[in-house]
Amino acid sequence: MESQEMKIELRNLQVEDYRDLKAAMEKAYTDYDDDPWRLKDIQLLLEKFPEGQICVCVNDKVVGCALSIVVDYDKYGDNHTYEQIVGNYTFNTHDSDGDVLYGIEVFVHPEYRGMRLARRLYDARKEICESFNLRSIIFGGRMSRYSKHKEEYTPKQYIENVKSNSVHDPVLNFQFSNGFHVKKLIRNYLPDDEASHDYAALMEWNNIYYEAKEKVINQTKSVVRIGLVQWQMREMRSFEQLVEYMDYFIDAVSEYQSDFILFPELFNAPLMQAYNHMGVSQAIRELASYTEPLRDMLLEKAVSYNINIISGSMPHLRDDKLYNITYLCRRDGTWDSYDKIHITPSEKEAWGMQGGSRIKTFDTDAGKIGILVCYDVEFPELSRIYANEGMQILFVPFLTDTQNGYMRVRNCSMARAIENECYVAIAGSVGNLPKVSNMDMQYAQSAVFTPSDFAFPTNCIKAETTPNTEMTIVADVDMDLLKELHNHGSVRTLTDRRGDLYEVVWKGEGSNG
């Protein structure tokens, strides 16, 4: 660098800094085969946690940065990967109620090293940690020269020699000098980190000013209770009669202190009987007039019975287009919705149904859930996107008229549970509606499916109903078992994905951001 008057500034990162940021990173990581941060990644981070994204400027030019998010560390534990922490770069792992500031990036342009700029970034992180009352800063530190010493030292010996200054590792030495200690040695933290020989040192700095927030009620549940309704299609002459039947099941399932109740797809179809003379296309549009009143009623029931209700699905007219919509009615009085993405040929031809264009995971007081409606579950890409966002339970309301159709839904749901290491709950209808066209008969066996490993049932079925019989089932699912599976399973279908070769990319309006 030429000698000149120098102005150094530490500040929060802005989107407008991206060009300088990218140039600095390309210079900083010449020894590591990784792409620079994408603009959309920086935009997401700034949207979710702007206070945690800081940069250092020299003469108004960004020459280094530190990126971080807040996580609920108990969800991940000490055995995790970088991709798990960043949610496959969705950053949906950021939790404003979390307890740890997790460092996901720090670098300084090589031409500006030796000016202690990285120390300024680390000090700023510590200030963030203290100001947000977080218990610690944690990140995975590269063992940047271990590959040169792997024949001489075990990873543990290498770290001890770095600490005693017998071996110089610029990354670890810097972290030790800044008050960080090694919390754990982890493997496969960063893909293709040959310099570290696939090892990383989990580093931690403890905030001595941290004051734990005691949480007596509304604690995160480790065991979640799910209730499924296998609904009997029968003649119903009024909206009030439908509500009466629904109230019966909600009351029965809530008596067991269930956290969720799931109804089937298009369970309110019996109300179409009054409009059957109009033809199938017009009849289902008349049925759509009940949808919002049903949602409002279910929201009241969710609060009064203290249970989260997945409403099954119903036809919904929006901008003169017909969608197949599902509602999540939370027991705190809030609600969300999901439009069925994949419409079957029958739904298109008979009803003129349209497919939705958004997917979204939902936060609840009993974990993060996803919803797919019937045919949707036969497309594995959607649930994989949900899994990347941290989904723990997938709910699938369905409607099938034949055993063949049912087996497609069942087998695909079981596959989704295994490949995404989550629970999948499916609920369908049984019986006949001879006076409703295009809804003549139904076949169902509702069930809760699990991943496949030693901690779960050998057939991957937690509970299931008797086929073609109106009934409910209530099942408990253990969320801690999912965490254990993610980190210590016999196989790890989420963490062992080859992200260097393939990825699932959402091209629609946007997933849960």
The Cα-based distances of 331 to 56, 294, 299 in angstroms read 45, 16, 8
How many Å apart are CA 390 and CA 380, to the nearest integer? 16
The Cα-based distances of 457 to 181, 421, 486 in angstroms read 40, 14, 17
Number of Cβ within 10 Å of residue 248's Cβ equals 11
How many Å apart are CA 423 and CA 416, to the nearest integer? 9
> Helices marked H in 344-499 — which ranges?
345-346, 380-388, 403-419, 479-488
Cα 513 to chain center, whole Å?
10
> Helices marked H in 360-458 — which ranges?
380-388, 403-419
Written as six digits, the tokens of 498 are 């080859």
Tell me the pairing of strands 181-187 and 423-427. Answer: unpaired
> Helices marked H in 203-330 — which ranges?
239-254, 280-287, 291-305
Q: Which of 472, 477, 476 is nearest to 252 (CA)?
A: 472
Q: Which of 377, 430, 366 is nearest to 401 (CA)?
A: 430
Q: Which of 89, 103, 185 is nearest to 136 (CA)?
A: 103
List the catalytic residues.
Answer: 265, 340, 374
> Helices marked H in 62-196 — which ranges?
82-85, 117-131, 155-163, 170-177
First to last CA, the chain: 41
The Cα-based distances of 452 to 10, 336, 447 in angstroms read 49, 31, 15
